[in-house]
Structure 1
Amino acid sequence: MSVTDSDAYPPIETYGVVGNLETCALVAPDGSIDWFPFPHLESPSILAAILDAERGGRFRIAPTDSFETERRYVDDTNVLETTFRTDDGTVTVTDFLPPAGRTDHPKKVLYRKLACTDGNVEVEVELEPRFDYGRAETSIERVDGGVLAEGDEERTLLESPIDLEIDDDRGRITGEASLEAADEAWFMLRCTGAEDADTDPDAALAETIQFWTDRAHDCDPEDDCAFEGPWHDAVVRSELVLTLLTHAESGGIAAAPTTSLPEDIGGVRNWDYRFNWFRDAGFTVQALMNLGTADEAVDYFDWFMDLCQTDDPAAIQPLYGLHGESTLEERELDHFEGYRGSRPVRIGNGAAEQRQHDTYGELLLAVDEMHQYGRELDADEWMRIRDIVEYVREIWTEPDAGIWEVRGGDDHFVFSKAMCWSALDRGLSIAIDGGHDAPLEEWRDARETIRSDVLENGYDDETGAFVQSYGSDALDATGLLLPVVGFLPFGDDRIQGTIDAIETTLVEDDAFVRRYDGDDGLPGDEGAFVLCSCWLIDALALSGRVEEAQSRFETLRSYLNPLGLVAEEIDPETGAHLGNYPQAFSHIGIVNSALYLGYARGLETPGPAPMGIRLGDPVVSS
């Protein structure tokens, strides 16, 4: 069987994810951990079978006989249970890592608890460590307490209650055990720095469950909460995903825990998403604050505000590493086959060097969102924000790569221009409300100039909609955000025409929205973007078309996997998930769509009115 055979690569949407607020591991339905970078999310992998079934490495625990599986998260946590049912019995594997700095247990230990609940089950254990994306020479030896594997810089100690064998030819560690009802066994993968750490696995599990439970949004029907309803569980899972992708040390939030999961199976649209994009800022802060996850929202806000502390706004990048790294050189792992033959496999991301003018508007939206919650800017912070707004006033006429990071050359993207308008608009509001010094008249003039320019050049009378770029007739889903950021009111005929045109041109199977219908300089196709599908729901809900929005949201929600996770894209024809997984922006979209629907239905929000209502002029149905 060729490793490109789909049988060697489980569907992306079948994976579960666990993590410790510094890194994550993806667990396949057959009990195999197929992705595990260490020590941080953006670090080289120890296990990467998801990117190369033969060379990537895995850590699998499963019955030796044929089985069926059921999986669930322990309620309101990121602790994953995989239950295997065989003809002879049932056994459950519980996977987790203790959150970094949040418990008294070492964060660098991946715990796997094996528990037989009935019958008798034969299980096999297989560990194939492949350090540095499979590039490092690996040595394996027996030591006190288990089997030690070492690469060039990292090492792992597999602590096991059963005898383990070493296959030097294949670089593999194996073992078998027989469990009867009520038997339990702990397998601990101790990574660099935790080989000798004291561990109490039962206590570690209990404290990890408590940590996640304490952070999960909770409301009762009588609370009249905007998130209450049939989608409440999906919202809570999305919140837990966003928290899982938040780096404990810096507060940065990764776009996804993976790299190079393809947007087009077998194609070249494979990117590294283990970084933070500033374009996520405003809607991320809105989602976290409304969920009551204030600590994470404030940490994230403070983190990107620190990155903005530069005398040159032109130096602000669209994305950064989770420790604030600005150098994210894009490279290719030629020795990896890629998920189902999808090459190249990339690490790093060249988009960090692009000019994306929408970034500034999204930053100002985040600053304004926190301002609405009472976060005041000090003098130095305001100076940097003022510099950013002044910079936008200077460069808004120039082309850029746009929000979608096209690789076919810069253009005059309508959304980028609108977000430059947004930077000036929110800058004005913050300056006035906060009593900050600013050239208010100059900013007002610039804001109106940009608005007039976009209305003249970004709206196509023949199409009856805002288009992707000046002089183009291509549609772009970002047109759905124009009323959300307050550029025009929802009731404006041009906005409603844009919604209708996007429904006609970019929507597939009622719930799925493609990003655009223009050329982006890359071969191949892609699926529908989950986030864009959420944008359509938002635009409909805040335009008073609440029943239609709710119906689309229910359809979209049905495509979340049984664990409540979702990737960047969905193939409308097959329902398969595509792209990196789970995707933060997709889950942000789920949260904010639920928020907008709740508000449009007259339910309460814990803070100020949602961004799309506060900045726009929606026609909300009763």
Structure 2
Amino acid sequence: MASRIEDYALLSDLHTAALVGRDGSIDWLCFPRFDSPSVFTALLGTSDHGRWLIAPTHAEAAVERRAYMGRTFILETVWETPDGSARVTDFMPVKDRRASVVRRIEGLQGSVEFSERISVRPGYGKVLPWVRRMDAADGTEAIVAVAGPDALVLRGDELPVAVEHEHAGIFTVQAGQRVQQELSWYPSHRPVPAAIDIDFSLEQTADYWEDWAARYNQDGKYAAIVERSLLVLRALTHEDTGGIVAAPTTSLPEDFGGARNWDYRFCWLRDAALTLEAMLTHGFDDEAMKWRDWLLRAVAGDPEDLQIMYGLSGERDLAEGELSHLPGYEGALPVRIGNGAVGQYQADVVGEVLVALEKLRLAGGNEDHFSWPLQQAMLGFVEKHLTAKDHGIWEMRGDLLHFTHSRVMMWAAFDCGARAVRNHGLEGPVERWEKLRDQLKEEIMEHGFNKELNTFTQTYGGTTTDASLLVLPQVGFVPYSSPEMLGTVDALENELVDRHGLILRYQTASGLDGLEPGEYPFLACSFWLVEQYAHSGRHADAVALMDTLVGLANEVGLLSEEYDMEQGRMAGNFPQAFSHLALVRAADALHGTESLSLSTEAIDTNTMPIVILQG
């Protein structure tokens, strides 16, 4: 059985990712890309579906400490046993362009006996490979597994031996002793790759992450978790293409035992746009431009072919299927690959993209012969579909509707287009865009705002709310402190905020999404609520909610999509880019409004807490 979601740590080489449990088992790994079929799939099944376990054999062994080495994704786990202690260091090399995982075990005190069990299962745990032991060309002993196009080689010290359909072994490390191994993927038609210099690779990998993070220099109460969130966004970004996956996993359930299980190993335009904003805000200009270029390449072509998501290189065919051989995480079925939402019309997406590109212009980013004409074409797409209903931001699989958030983002698209002409000197039919923008605002206020209830509504003519309404002031549709927005927040608190202060996306019992009801509070939306509180004079409420949310991150600073406060556990795909994006926004909002709050609140210096800054 897989570990709880929050018990996993992320490893990344900027091409793919692995999840390592507190129990020492790598239960999820796709090679060579984030969206490739997994070779370790115990996360969605059992050990028979592939995993790599290295852990002490002693029944009283316990993890004394687990943390990333500085500002990296090099994971260090210190085990304590009655006989001694040892450190396991796990990482994926990032500089020598090889798809591999390295595991180093070092004795610290006394002696510690370790058990190792590894079963490689390509094809999402379905394929039993042909495995042989061999002497590699460089003279090292190796275990090679081959299945179709995939081959993996395990080499290093104390290699395990074949036991039925896995490899297993036991070894002991004394204080000062070291055992290390590397598992590498390579195309099966090529020769076995040479062994790496693990010491050099570790140093290179540490230097890369530290150098990248060194550009972040913000201080404040949430500096450390913001830094880790920015690192997560980088770790989920493909180094070559610039595409960012929503999460490195598929089918981790939004409702334990339920059917809300989706494949998030793709690039949503919305996530890419928001990532561009986050990177711009924190000085990562080169990364922002690379994400812009990915966006423009992905959407290039006939605007009528615009999709809400793409593959890492801009692939369009992401057909959804089911893996019937897997039992699912804690029995949550079906296990899906691909994502059927790729064919949905979500009217908000162009607005998300154009808002991000407007912020890039404000930051000094120059338009070229490709980027501005493409944005004009996207505005033409919005105009052509001006009256069309859509599936909404939450990818409803029910009836098409006019979602208020979607209509507002269409307003934002025309607003950005008009400002590009008026403020930045670009060419375009500005009068027509301004007319459409103004017509949309009038329409939204008539049909998407319930005057009797004094709240914006989820859909035109509706009476219920949706957490996506918190985005309205973020794009300038109404001020954060406007009567309409404050009334909406009151309604959201009554309908969707739970007793812990976290907010649901919407009421799933309504049946709008075409699925059985049931999910947990959505962390990104809860961070949006922090932002709303911070900008509307509720600083204490913002800080209290932010502290609650930050406290939900696991010991290495990672967040999932949702959180079940009653059971105290994470839910949904993990780690979730959207959650970390919203955390960065919320922290920025608090940082930007803190001085205003301090100037308007009475401060008793005798009771002020002492805050120790980290990072």
Same fold flag (TM > 0.5): yes
Which is worse superposed, 262-271 or 283-292?
283-292
Assess if the C-alpha contact under 8 Å between 2:215 and 2:284 holds in 1. Answer: no
Residue 298 of structure 1: how far off its partner (Å): 1.5
Equivalent of 1:590, from 559, 575, 583? 583
Amino acid at match of 2:199: D
1:139 maps to what in 2?
130
1:372-521 alignment runs, 5 A limit: 372-517=362-507, 518-519=510-511, 520-521=513-514
Residue 160 of structure 1: how far off its partner (Å): 2.8
What is the SS of the residue equivalent to 1:251?
coil
Alignment partners' CA distance in 1, 2:517 and 2:148? 37
1:157 maps to what in 2?
153
2:338 aligned with 1:348: yes
Amino acid at match of 1:340: E
Residue 198 of structure 1: how far off its partner (Å): 4.2
2:298 maps to what in 1?
307
Residues 271/390 of structure 1: CA separation in 2 closer, same or farther (3 Å cut):
same
Residue 382 of structure 1: how far off its partner (Å): 1.6
What is the SS of the residue equivalent to 1:488?
coil
Alignment partners' CA distance in 2, 1:352 and 1:137? 31
Amino acid at match of 1:401: H
Alignment partners' CA distance in 2, 1:469 and 1:358? 13
Alignment partners' CA distance in 1, 2:269 and 2:211? 28
2:177 maps to what in 1?
183
1:90 maps to what in 2?
85
Residue 463 of structure 1: how far off its partner (Å): 2.6
1:44-63 alignment runs, 5 A limit: 44-63=37-56
1:35-114 alignment runs, 5 A limit: 35-66=28-59, 67-69=61-63, 70-99=65-94, 103=95, 105-114=96-105
Residue 410 of structure 1: how far off its partner (Å): 1.0
Equivalent of 2:208, from 198, 208, 211? 211
Q: Work out the number of aligned pairs and report it.
A: 588
Q: How big is the alpha-carbon RMSD for the aligned residues of Structure 1 and Structure 2?
A: 1.8
Residue 218 of structure 1: how far off its partner (Å): 5.9
Residue 190 of structure 1: how far off its partner (Å): 1.8
For structure 2, the 5+ residue unaligned runs are: 136-140, 602-615
What is the SS of the residue equivalent to 1:601?
helix
Alignment partners' CA distance in 2, 1:306 and 1:257? 22
Amino acid at match of 1:174: A
Residue 35 of structure 1: how far off its partner (Å): 0.1
Residue 54 of structure 1: how far off its partner (Å): 4.0
Residue 238 of structure 1: how far off its partner (Å): 0.5
2:351 aligned with 1:357: no
Assess if the C-alpha contact under 8 Å between 1:545 and 1:621 holds in 2. Answer: no
Please give the per-residue CA displacement for 1:470-495, whole angstroms capped at 9, x wherever unaligned.
12212100111101111111221001
What is the SS of the residue equivalent to 1:379?
coil
Alignment partners' CA distance in 2, 1:554 and 1:264? 25
What is the SS of the residue equivalent to 1:236?
helix
What is the SS of the residue equivalent to 2:494?
helix
Percent identical across equivalent pairs? 38
Which is worse superposed, 106-115 or 574-583?
106-115
Which is worse superposed, 14-23 or 432-441?
432-441
Amino acid at match of 2:462: S
Which is worse superposed, 257-266 or 517-526?
517-526
Residue 511 of structure 1: how far off its partner (Å): 3.1
Assess if the C-alpha contact under 8 Å between 1:97 and 1:110 holds in 2. Answer: yes
Alignment partners' CA distance in 1, 2:326 and 2:18? 19
Residue 282 of structure 1: how far off its partner (Å): 3.4
Residue 141 of structure 1: how far off its partner (Å): 1.1
What is the SS of the residue equivalent to 2:491?
helix
Please give the per-residue CA displacement for 1:13-71, whole angstroms capped at 9, x wherever unaligned.
11001010000000011110000001100000000100011432100111111211121
Amino acid at match of 1:393: E
Residues 563/181 of structure 1: CA separation in 2 closer, same or farther (3 Å cut):
same
Amino acid at match of 1:15: Y
Assess if the C-alpha contact under 8 Å between 2:481 and 2:535 holds in 1. Answer: no
1:281 maps to what in 2?
272
2:17 aligned with 1:24: yes
Assess if the C-alpha contact under 8 Å between 1:282 and 1:369 holds in 2. Answer: no
Please give the per-residue CA displacement for 1:120-146, whole angstroms capped at 9, x wherever unaligned.
111111111001112223111111122
Residue 156 of structure 1: how far off its partner (Å): 1.1
Residues 475/142 of structure 1: CA separation in 2 closer, same or farther (3 Å cut):
same
Residue 163 of structure 1: how far off its partner (Å): 4.4
Residue 291 of structure 1: how far off its partner (Å): 2.1
Amino acid at match of 1:416: S
Alignment partners' CA distance in 2, 1:441 and 1:361? 18
What is the SS of the residue equivalent to 2:42?
coil
Assess if the C-alpha contact under 8 Å between 1:279 and 1:403 holds in 2. Answer: no
Residues 48/377 of structure 1: CA separation in 2 closer, same or farther (3 Å cut):
same
For structure 1, the 5+ residue unaligned runs are: 1-7, 604-617
Alignment partners' CA distance in 2, 1:30 and 1:380? 50
2:611 maps to what in 1?
none
2:260 maps to what in 1?
269
Residue 265 of structure 1: how far off its partner (Å): 0.7
Alignment partners' CA distance in 2, 1:141 and 1:551? 57
